[in-house]
Structure formats: structure tokens, C-alpha cells
Amino acid sequence: MKMVYIILIAVVLILAIAYLTYRKNHNLAFNEARLKDAVNRVFSESGMSTLKRSDFLLRLKQILGCTHKQALYMYGVARTKGLIVVDNKQVSKAP
């Protein structure tokens, strides 16, 4: 009977850890001011006015502390909001 309780507790702990990990990775709160600051920081730290798309995404990912998928989402939001201008896989800050 003790073995059943141990297995049950282990399963519950594994499910709890999986759920908390899922919530942490999929709960990037969107804040336009934070995104604008991150975009400004990307360009100020690079010292360039135009970056390759991959470099921009890598820096955005590092600054926001998020996954690549979330960085792509934020990249799309920044394009939609007019924070960045994309031309032929080159990203520049909007005027």
C-alpha cells in the first residue's frame, strides 16, 4: 500500500512541475512600453541603425528573456505597432 502512495505522490509532483513550466514559458505578458524599451535597447546596444533579422531576434530574445517563439511574436507585434521597419530581412528602427 505504501508503494501506491509513493507512486501517486510522484505522479502529482511531476504533473505540477510540468504545469508550472508550461505556465512560465507561455505567460509572456505583453506590454507595449516594455517592448518599445527593448527595441530601443537592441539598437542602442548594437550601435547600428540596421540589423539582420536573425541578429535582431537574438538580441530581442536576450533582452526580454524569452524563447525564440515568443521573440518572433514580439517581432510581429513591433512590426504591427510601427516600432520597427522591415525591408528585405533587414530590421531598422522606425523614424
Please report, for the chain, how many H helices and E strands are present, in that order: 4, 3
What are the residue ranges spanned by the domains of the chain? 32-93
Question: Residue 94 in contact with residue 83, Cβ under 8 Å?
Answer: yes
- 48-71 mean pLDDT: 91
78/37 Cα distance (integer angstroms): 11
For the sheet with 50-52, list strands across it: 50-52, 90-93, 84-87
pLDDT tens readout for residues 7-53: 999 999 999 999 988 877 666 667 788 889 999 999 999 999 999 99
CATH 1.10.10 fits 32-93, yes or no: yes
